[in-house]
Amino acid sequence: MKLGVIADDFTGASDIGLTLAEAGMTVTQFIGVPDGAADAALDAGVIALKSRTAPVDQAIAASLAACDWLQAQGAGQIVFKVCSTFDSTPQGNIGPVLDALAAHLGAEAVIVCPAFPENGRSVYQGHLFVGDALLNESGMQHHPLTPMTDADLRRVLSAQSARDVGHVPAHVVQQGARAIAAALHGRAHLITDAITDADLIAIGRAAKHLPLLCGGSGIALGLPANFDRLPKTPDWAPVTGPGVVFSGSCSIATRQQVDVYAAKAPTFQIDADRAVMGDYQIADIVAWVAAQNTTPMIHASADPAVVKTAQDRYGAGVAAHAIETFFARLAPALVDAGVRRLVVAGGETSGAVVTGLGASALRIGPRAAAGVPLLRSGPTALALKSGNFGGPDFFAQALAMMQASA
Ligand SMILES: Nc1ncnc2c1ncn2[C@@H]1O[C@H](COP(=O)(O)OP(=O)(O)O)[C@@H](O)[C@H]1O
Ligand SMILES: O=C(O)[C@@H](O)C(=O)COP(=O)(O)O
C-alpha cells in the first residue's frame, strides 16, 4: 500500500475512494480497521470511520488505530478525509484528530484543504464557499448534527486545534507546486486556498513528501500522479435484483431528490417521534417493500423546522440515533429478503446502514455522480450519497446505473 486514507464518515470514504480509483489507483474502502492484512497489490486503502460526530476521545483513538494499520500495510502518506463543508463542532472532531495524527506521524506543516470544485466547494482567502455562498449561508448552518456557522476555516480550525493555524493564499497556490512547497514550513495546520482542480493537482504535487494531509476528496486529485498512476474507469458488473432507496439526510439537495423520487415511487416517511418511541416494526416495513411494484423509498428527510422540533423534544443525538438505528436494523432485513440494490442518502445514515449490514470492505465502482461511486459488497450494490451531492434525479439514476455495465 502506498497511500492510506482515514475518512471520518462512510460517504466521504467512498467519495475519496472514487477520486483515487478514477486516477488509476487500486483502492478498497474498509469499514473500520480490518482484522487482517490488506491485499499486497492494493495501492490505496480507505478506512471508513463513523468518527465525525463521535465523542472526541473515541474519534482520536479510532483514527490512530486506523493510521497504525495503514502504516503497517506500507502506506507512506496518510490523508485525513473530512467533509468538503468541513462538518464539525467547536469541540471537534477535525482539529483534535488532526493534532493527534500530526503528533503520531511527526508531521510539521499539514495542508488542510476541503475544496472540491466539481461539487462547487472552493477555498479562497481562507474562507470556504459552496457555489457562490459562504459556508454559513449555504444551508449548512442548519445541519442537524454539525451546523456550520462560520466560513473562515482559519477561525474554525483554530477553535478546535492546539496547533498554530496558518494560511497558504491563492496567489501562492496559483504559482504552482514549487511555490506551494516553499510555503509549507513551521509546525502548523495550513488552510490552503484552492479554486480549481488545477490548484488541487498542484497541491498534490507539492505534497509528495508530506506524511499527512487533510481535506475533502479534492485533496487526492493530484496524489496518484506522485505514484505514476494514470486515469481509468473503475470496473462494474451489473446487479439486477430488487432495490430500495433510504434517506436520512436533511440537506437541501437531498430534500429535493426525495421530492423528485417521491413523485414517481412508493414512499414511506419515518417520523422522528415514532422512531424515538420504537414504534416501527421492521417486519411490517419489509412486507411493505415486498408489496411494491416500483423501487420504493423510505426516508426521514425533513426541513429544518421539523428537525428542530424533534431535537428540542428529545435532543439532537437522541433523535438522530433513533433514526439511524431504525435504518441499521432495516437494511439487513431487506437484504435477507432479497434486496440487492441499495441507495442511501446521508453520511451518518450510510454509516449506520453499512454497519448494520456487517460489511467489512467495499469495492469502488464507477461514478453515479461527482463524489458518489457505485459500490459492491458481496452480491449487493450500494451507493452512499453525501447529503449535498447528486442532481435532482440521483436516486433513479443510481438505481439504473447499478443494473448497467460500466
Ligand atoms: N426528521 C428528523 N429529525 C431529526 N433528525 C433527523 C431527521 N431526519 C434525519 N435526521 C438525522 O439527521 C442526521 C443527518 O445526517 P447525515 O445522514 O450525515 O446526512 P448529511 O449527509 O446530509 O449530513 C442523521 O443522524 C439522521 O438520523
Ligand atoms: O466531502 C464531502 O462533502 C463528502 O465526501 C462528505 O464527507 C459528505 O458528508 P455527508 O454530507 O455527511 O454525507
ipTM entry:
0.98
CA distance 57 to 79: 20
b/e map 140-155, b = 16+ CB within 10 Å: bebbbbbebebbbbbe
My answer on whether omega of the bond before 293 falls inside 30° of 0, hence cis, is no
The string of pLDDT tens digits covering residues 17-31 is 999 999 999 999 999
Q: What separation in Å is there between the alpha carbon of 291 and the centre of ligand 2? A: 33
Q: What separation in Å is there between the alpha carbon of 12 and the centre of ligand 2? A: 5
Proportion of the chain above pLDDT 90, given as a percent: 96
Q: What separation in Å is there between the alpha carbon of 256 and the centre of ligand 1? A: 15
The string of pLDDT tens digits covering residues 270-299 is 999 999 999 999 999 999 999 999 999 999
The predicted pLDDT at position 145 comes to 87
Return contacts of 30-34, CB within 8 angstroms, 24+ apart: 30/360, 30/361, 31/354, 31/355, 31/359, 31/360, 31/361, 31/362, 32/62, 32/360, 33/62, 33/65, 33/66, 33/69, 34/69, 34/360, 34/361
Does 40 score more than 90 pLDDT?
yes
| pLDDT: which is higher, 91 or 93 | 93
Q: Which ligand does the CA of 352 lie closest to?
A: 1
Where in the sequence of the chain do the CATH 3.40.980.20 domains occur? 243-403
The predicted pLDDT at position 32 comes to 96
Average pLDDT of span 347-363: 95
Q: What separation in Å is there between the alpha carbon of 128 and the centre of ligand 2? A: 14
Proportion of the chain above pLDDT 70, given as a percent: 100
Does 204 score more than 90 pLDDT?
yes
Q: Spell out which residues line ligand 1, taking CB within 6 angstroms.
A: 143-145, 248-251, 254, 272, 300-302, 306-307, 310-311, 319-320, 323-324, 346-349, 386-387
Q: Which residue among 10, 135, 250 is best mutated to probe the pocket of ligand 1, counting the most ligand atoms within 8 A of its Cβ?
A: 250
Q: Provide φ and ψ at 182, rounded to 5°.
A: -70, -25
| CATH architecture for residues 243-403 | 3-Layer(aba) Sandwich (3.40)
Mean predicted lDDT score pLDDT of the chain: 96
Does 91 score more than 90 pLDDT?
no
The string of pLDDT tens digits covering residues 5-18 is 999 999 999 999 99
Average pLDDT of span 90-117: 97
Side-chain half-sphere exposure of 266, counting CA atoms within 13 A? 12
Nearest atom (ligand 1) to Cα of 347: 18
Tell me, which fold does domain 3-227 have in CATH?
A: Rossmann fold (3.40.50)
The predicted pLDDT at position 169 comes to 98
Q: Provide φ and ψ at 156, rounded to 5°.
A: -60, -45
- SS (HEC) of the chain: CCEEEEECCHHHHHHHHHHHHHCCCCEEEEECCCCCCCCCCCCEEEEECCCCCCCHHHHHHHHHHHHHHHHHCCCCEEEEECCCCCCCECCECHHHHHHHHHHHHCCCCEEEECCEHHHCEEEECCEEEECCEEHHHCCHHHCCCCCCCCCEHHHHHHHHCCCEEEEECHHHHCCCHHHHHHHCCCCEEEEECECCHHHHHHHHHHCCCCCEEEECHHHHCCCHHHHCCCCCCCCCCCCCCCEEEEECCCCHHHHHHHHHHHCCCCEEECCHHHHHCCCCCHHHHHHHHHCCCCCCEEECCCCHHHHHHHHHHHCHHHHHHHHHHHHHHHHHHHHHCCCCEEEEECHHHHHHHHHHHCCCEEEEEEEEECCEEEEEECCEEEEEECCCCCCCCHHHHHHHHHHCCC
Confidence of residue 155 (pLDDT cuts 50, 70, 90): very high
Residues 6+ apart with CB under 8 A from 70: 1, 4, 5, 6, 45, 47, 78
* Cβ-contact 202, 173 below 8 angstroms: yes
Q: What separation in Å is there between the alpha carbon of 292 and the centre of ligand 2? A: 31
Does 405 score more than 80 pLDDT?
no
Q: What separation in Å is there between the alpha carbon of 224 and the centre of ligand 1? A: 33
Average pLDDT of span 303-328: 94
The string of pLDDT tens digits covering residues 126-148 is 999 999 999 999 999 999 889 99
Average pLDDT of span 267-272: 97
Does 333 score more than 90 pLDDT?
yes
- The residue whose CA is least distant from atom 5 of ligand 2 is 12
The predicted pLDDT at position 90 comes to 85
Does 406 score more than 80 pLDDT?
no
CA distance 310 to 316: 8
